[in-house]
Amino acid sequence: MAAAVSLPNPVKECFRAGRPALGMLARLGRSGDIARIAKTTGHDFVMIDMQHAIFNLETVAHIAQTALGCDIAPVVRVRSCDDQDTAVLLDNGVMGIVYPDVNTAAEAKRAVDRAKYPPTGRRSVAGTVPMFDFRPVPAGDAVRALDDNTLVVCMIETPEGLANVEAIAAVPGVDVVHVGSSDLLTAMGTPGAYGTPAHLAALDKVMAAAKNHGKIAGVGGDRNIARQVDFIRKGARF
């Protein structure tokens, strides 16, 4: 009997172990070295930022394949839940998609549709992919393994998204509900006001929604170490 297909995602392994997955944002590094630096500095994933940086698809694929080779999850922040590059990124080594500025459950569903195969989503099936080292894998096994280990992250970055966070967290296929603190605070009219009561209340609301729906809560943007530790104590895992 053939062995079951294994395709571990270091981020999801952290979640299963109950420990936080720590990510390094990449905007300037243009080679696979950035994934090795993430590994050396104790990170679990590298988030390649296609929303704010000028990476092209081929550069992202090179970084992703290096990350796969050194047990770092390659994750990409795309431009929106409607980014048409999502599928080709996932077909070429990327193990997770971070969607910015998700404001409604309908947008979260569009995000899932691009990243997950039917029946959960609408992702198209490619041929052999680098995650399996280009080995031939039966389609059923490949689809199952990729679906189980592809991370879908929805960012909450506006008051509208915060108001709808319960509905966003309830969408099947969403793994992480992640607070983009910088954009959220800016949208609230208080740019850079990290650690204020309004900021902390927003985080508490997102963490509660994630817990209510069996999802993971994430926090980004606030670089204060003491607060980061407190966020983890409260339940942040991404």
Cβ(102)–Cβ(108) below 8 Å: yes
Alpha-helical regions (H) of 41-130: 57-69, 86-90, 105-115
Position 3 scores a pLDDT of: 57
Position 169 scores a pLDDT of: 98
Our answer to whether residue 43 is catalytic in this structure is: no
| Closest CA relative to residue 71, chosen from 116, 22, 38, 29 | 38
Residue partners of 139: CB distance under 8 A and separation at least 6: 125
Calpha distance 143→5 (Å, rounded) = 10
Position 134 scores a pLDDT of: 87
> Could you report the per-residue pLDDT of 169-227, keeping only the tens digit for each?
999 999 999 999 999 999 999 999 999 999 999 999 999 999 999 999 999 999 999 99
Query: For the whole prediction, is pTM greater than 0.75?
Result: yes
Could you tell me the pLDDT band of residue 58, with boundaries at 50, 70 and 90?
A: very high
Position 78 scores a pLDDT of: 98
Position 232 scores a pLDDT of: 97
Which residues sit opposite 153 in a β-bridge?
98, 176
Out of 52, 62, 178, 199, pick the active-site residue: 52
> Could you report the per-residue pLDDT of 65-113, keeping only the tens digit for each?
999 999 999 999 999 999 999 999 999 999 999 999 999 999 999 999 9
Calpha distance 23→45 (Å, rounded) = 5
For residue 197, how many other CB atoms are within 10 A of its CB? 8
**Alpha-carbon distances, residue 189 vs 1, 199, 222 (angstroms):** 60, 12, 16
Which tokens go with 185? 């605070």
